[in-house]
Homo-oligomer: A and B are copies of this chain.
Amino acid sequence: MSLDCLFNPESIALVGAAHSEEKLGGVILKNLLKFRGRVYPVNPNYTELMGLKTYPSAKDISESIDLTIIIRPASEVPEILKELQDKTKCVIIASSGFAEIGQKKLQDEVKKIGKEIGVRILGPNCMGLYNPYQRLDTFFLPYERLRRPKKGNASVVSQSGAILSCLLAALRKANTGISKAIGYGNAIDIDESDIYEYLCEDKDTQVVISYIESVGDGRKFIEKAKMVSEKKPFIILKAGKGLSGEKAAFSHTGRLAGKYEIFHSIIKQFGIKEAMDFDELIDAAKALSYQRPSKGSRVCIITNGGGSGVLSADECMRYGLDVAKLPDDKAERLGHLFPYFYGINNPIDLTAQVRDEDYITALNELKDDYDGFIIIALPNVMGITKRLPEMIKNAITDMNKPVVFHIPVNGVAKRLISHLEKMKIPVYPSPERAVRGLKALLMF
C-alpha cells in the first residue's frame, strides 16, 4: 500500500484534539488549521474546537479518513485504534509511553491491532509529519517554539523527534527548504525503509537526509537505502557509535542500536554516504539541496585571504580532495592578467587588493580544469562589493560544476550571503565547512 495516505492525505482526523495550545492536542490542532484538506477534531467533550466542528469519536465522522492522528495517553491507544477499523487508512500515534519506557507489551498489542484492522501506523512516540507542499504539519510543537523551514527539495527522516526538530531548526538557519520532514519514533509498522522507498519516487524530494539510532530489519534497510541513494543524494547520520552512545540509543527508543563498526562497514560497502556529525549532515544537505552533484575530485580554491585558503586546502586533503596544481599554461596566463603580487597557485591568492572581477577571471580561465570550486570572499576589504553574487552567477551558468563559498558572518556579509544563496550558491561560515559542503557534491 502506498504511503500517500500519510504523506499526501486529503482528510485528517485528530483524536485528542484540545481547545488550547497548553495541551499537545491543541498545538497539533492549531498547526492543522493551515492544512489544505479537511480536518476533523475528535474530542467527546466539545462540539467545536478552534472553529471546527468536533466529533465525539472518529466513528461519527461521515467520510472515510486518509490519516488519523492520535494524541491520547498510551493506555487508551488500543481502544482508540480498534474504533478506527474501516474508518482510516493510516494512523500517526504521536503519544509516548510505549517500548521507550519499557511498555513493550502495550506496544506489541498496538502493533497487533494495527495489523488486524489493516491500517498503516507511524510511531508510536513519534513527531509525525511536516509537508509544506500540502501545508500539512502534525507536530506537537508550536510554531513560536520551532519555526519551520520553507518549502524546498530536501527531505528529512528521523527516528528521534528531538533531533528532527534540531535538524529543521538548523536547515532553516542554513536557508535550506524542506519537501517532507518525518519523525517515525518507535517504528512498529512504517519504518525508515518504507519512508526511503516513498521518497525515492517523490518528485518534490531531490535529497534525503536521515538520522538513525537503530535499525529493525537490517536487510530491508540496506535494500531501500541503496535504492534511494542510487536515485538521489542520500546521507545518513548514525547515532550510537560508541559504547556509551550505544547504551543511550538503546534506552531511548527501545530498539537495539547494534555494533556501529558493522553498520559503518556495511553501508560503506553499498555506497551509502554517512555524515560524521550533526553539522556535517546539515552542510551536506544544504549543498545537495542547492546544486547537483558532479564527478571528480579536483578542487580549485580562489581566495582573498591566504590563511583561509590554507585551512581549506588542509581540509580538502583530509577528505581526499585533490587541490591540484594549476596547469602551466593557465598559470602563465593568470600571471599576465593579475597584478604581480597575487599568488598564482592553488589556492589562488587574490590578496587584500582583490576586486570582484578577479574571481571571474580565475573562474573563466580554470573552469575546464577542475571539478569543483571553493570561493573564499572575506568581505572586510573594499574590493568585495555587492556586485559579486550576480557576477559569479553569470560566470558559472552553463559550467555545471559545483561552486561553494566561504564568507565569515560579520558586518556587510549578511546581504552578500543571502544574495548568493538566493541564486543557489551555498555559503559556509568557516573554510572547513565549505570543503565539507563541496565534498558532498563531488563523487569520487
Which residues of A are at the interface with B, using a C-beta cutoff of 8 A?
Answer: 22, 96-97, 100-101, 141-147, 158-163, 165-166, 168-170, 172-173, 211, 213, 237, 239-245, 247-249, 251-253, 277-279, 304-311, 313-318, 323, 340-341, 343, 345-347, 349, 351-352, 378-382, 408-413, 429-433
The answer to whether A165 and B380 have CB atoms under 8 Å apart is yes
**Which 6 pairs between the two chains have the least Cβ-Cβ distance?**
A162-B305, A160-B307, A242-B317, A252-B306, A169-B410, A163-B307
The answer to whether B239 and A314 have CB atoms under 8 Å apart is yes
Contacts of A173 in B (CB 8 A): 409-410
Nearest to A103 among chain B residues (CB) is B341
Q: How far is A47 from B227 in the complex, measured between Cα atoms in Å?
A: 76
Q: Which residue of B211, B240, B378 contacts A165 across the interface (Cβ within 8 Å)?
A: B378
Contact A304:B343 (CB < 8 A) given known A252-B309, A409-B169: no
Contacts of A247 in B (CB 8 A): 345
New A-B contacts (15) at CB < 8 Å, excluding given A165-B410, A277-B311: A142-B380, A145-B382, A145-B410, A146-B411, A158-B307, A160-B305, A160-B306, A162-B307, A162-B352, A241-B318, A245-B314, A245-B323, A248-B346, A252-B349, A279-B432
Contact A278:B431 (CB < 8 A) given known A310-B245, A314-B240: yes
Nearest to A23 among chain B residues (CB) is B382
The answer to whether A310 and B352 have CB atoms under 8 Å apart is no
Q: How far is A253 from B412 in the complex, measured between Cα atoms in Å?
A: 27
The answer to whether A310 and B431 have CB atoms under 8 Å apart is no
Q: Which residue of B279, B307, B317 contacts A430 across the interface (Cβ within 8 Å)?
A: B279
The answer to whether A244 and B165 have CB atoms under 8 Å apart is no
Q: How far is A304 from B308 in the complex, measured between Cα atoms in Å?
A: 37
Q: How far is A380 from B251 in the complex, measured between Cα atoms in Å?
A: 22
CB A150 to nearest CB in B, in angstroms, measures 14
Q: Which residue of B141, B166, B408 contacts A166 across the interface (Cβ within 8 Å)?
A: B408
The answer to whether A252 and B310 have CB atoms under 8 Å apart is yes
Nearest to A242 among chain B residues (CB) is B317
Contacts of A146 in B (CB 8 A): 380, 410-411
Nearest to A341 among chain B residues (CB) is B101
The answer to whether B141 and A380 have CB atoms under 8 Å apart is yes
The answer to whether B145 and A412 have CB atoms under 8 Å apart is yes
Nearest to A315 among chain B residues (CB) is B277
Nearest to A141 among chain B residues (CB) is B380
The answer to whether A430 and B278 have CB atoms under 8 Å apart is yes
Provide 17 A-B residue pairs closer than 8 Å at the C-beta atoms, listed in order of the A residue: A141-B381, A143-B411, A145-B410, A162-B307, A166-B430, A169-B408, A170-B408, A240-B314, A241-B318, A242-B318, A243-B317, A247-B345, A249-B310, A252-B307, A252-B349, A277-B315, A277-B430
